[in-house]
Chains A and B, each alone.
Chain A
Amino acid sequence: MKNLDKINVPSGVALLIAATLAGGVLEAFTRITWEPLWLNRKCPIPNILGKIDTKNLDLYERGVQSSYKYATFYANFAWAIVLLFVGRLFTGAALFSMANLILGLVFMLLLDASYVQWTYFVNYLKRVFEKEW
């Protein structure tokens, strides 16, 4: 990581794959904890999978890409911030410092943004498929 200018194409591809796998682990954590234990309890998602057909599939996909993916992005980034915080502690940084305070604020902001984006997704699903409710 210290010699980023010496990274060639194969090692760049390897880094991309490693970053994707690490992101997959964060995503898995979001799926098994944040989503069912907080988001779905605070704002339950309607079960509209049975209403999806070839006519409204694009609308569903649009909701996933424009809202749901952002909800997971914010949550995944929040867990990465936690890792950054833990990494800083391991390297000897002081627990109560301005940088850690900023990391804590960013963490709260990201989780709140994830919840807001989740409510957008749920409202989108309800409004798009409300004719079929």
Chain B
Amino acid sequence: MKAESQASSTTIYSRVNVSMVSLKWGDILSTLLPGALALLVSPHIFHCLMVI
């Protein structure tokens, strides 16, 4: 009975090893590199849009 109540009060913690803020190579690849190219050409576009 005692063991039973002990077992029922035991809390099992399971750790999930994933974080929303973890920076992986895939994130850099998929976001930073295309963004760098977009950043490189965006001044030309903005400049011309301002003129128009």
Taken residue by residue from 10 to 33, chain B's Cβ proximity to chain A (1 for < 8 Å, 0 otherwise) reads as: 000011111000001111011111
Number of interface residues of A (CB under 8 A): 36
- Which of A13-21, A37-45, A94-102, A123-131 has 4 or more CB atoms under 8 Å from chain B? A13-21
Q: Are A19 and B29 in touch, CB under 8 angstroms?
A: no
By beta carbon, the residue of chain A nearest B31 is: A23
- Classify the secondary structure of A's interface with B: helix
By beta carbon, the residue of chain A nearest B27 is: A69
Closest CB-CB distance, B22 to chain A, in whole Å?
Answer: 10
Q: Are A70 and B30 in touch, CB under 8 angstroms?
A: yes
Task: Tell whether A54 pairs with B14 under 8 Å between CB atoms, given A19-B32, A73-B29, A91-B48.
Answer: yes
Question: A52–B4 Cα gap in the complex (Å)?
Answer: 30
Closest CB-CB distance, B35 to chain A, in whole Å?
Answer: 3
Question: A98–B27 Cα gap in the complex (Å)?
Answer: 33
Taken residue by residue from 28 to 44, chain B's Cβ proximity to chain A (1 for < 8 Å, 0 otherwise) reads as: 01111111111111111
Task: Tell whether A26 pairs with B27 under 8 Å between CB atoms, given A1-B43, A54-B14, A90-B44.
Answer: no
